[in-house]
A and B are shown apart, each in its own frame.
Chain A
Amino acid sequence: MNLFMKSTMALGLGVAVIATASIAGSHSSEKLNPAVAARQHQMQMVGYSIGILGAVAKGEMEYDAAMVSSAAKNLNALAQLDRASLWIEGTEQGATAGTRAKAEIWSDPDGFAEKFQALADASAALIDASDAAAVGAGMGDLGGSCKGCHEKYRGPKNE
Chain B
Amino acid sequence: MKTLVRILAICVIVGAVGAWVLTAPAPLEDDFAAGHTADVENGALVFAAAGCASCHTAPGAEDKQMLSGGHSFASDFGTFYAPNISPGVQGIGGWSPAEFARAVTKGVSPDGDHYYPAFPYTSYQRMTAPDVSDLYAYMQTLPVSDVPSKAHEVGFPFNIRRGLGVWKQMYMADDPVLTGDLSEQLERGRYLVEALGHCGECHTPRNALGGLDRDMWLAGAPNPSGKGEIPNITPGKLDWAESDLVYYFESGFTPDYDSVGGSMAAVVTNLSKLPESDRAAIAAYLKAVPAVP
Contact = CB atoms under 8 A, between A and B. Distances in A.
Interface of A: 47-48, 50-51, 54, 58, 139-140, 143-144, 146-152, 154-159
B227 A150 contact: no
B38 interface: no
Nearest to B254: A47
Interface of B: 60, 223, 227-229, 243, 247, 250-253, 256-262, 265-266, 268-269, 272
Contacts of B60: 152
Given A152-B60, A156-B223, A157-B229, A143 B259 contact: yes
Contacts of B227: 155-156, 159
A151 B257 contact: no
A147 B259 contact: yes
A158 B257 contact: no
A54 B253 contact: yes
A155 B261 CA distance: 8
30 contacts: A47-B257, A48-B257, A50-B257, A54-B251, A54-B253, A139-B251, A139-B253, A140-B272, A143-B250, A143-B251, A143-B252, A143-B253, A143-B259, A144-B252, A147-B252, A147-B259, A147-B260, A150-B259, A150-B260, A150-B262, A151-B260, A151-B262, A151-B265, A155-B228, A155-B262, A156-B227, A157-B229, A158-B228, A159-B227, A159-B228
A132 to B, nearest CB: 15
Given A140-B251, A144-B252, A158 B229 contact: yes
Contacts of B258: 47
Contacts of A148: 265
A144 B269 CA distance: 8
Given A58-B247, A159-B227, A154 B252 contact: no
B135 to A, nearest CB: 24
A146 B252 contact: yes
Nearest to B265: A151
B262 A147 contact: no
Contacts of B228: 155-159
A139 B273 CA distance: 15
Contacts of A157: 228-229
Given A48-B257, A51-B256, A147-B268, 15 more contacts: A50-B253, A51-B257, A54-B251, A58-B247, A140-B251, A140-B272, A143-B251, A144-B252, A147-B259, A150-B259, A152-B60, A154-B261, A156-B228, A157-B228, A157-B229
Nearest to B225: A156
A141 B10 CA distance: 69
Of B227, B229, B251, B272, the most chain A CB neighbours within 10 A belong to: B251
Given A158-B229, A159-B227, A159-B228, A150 B261 contact: yes
Contact of A54 (B257, B260, B262, B265): B257
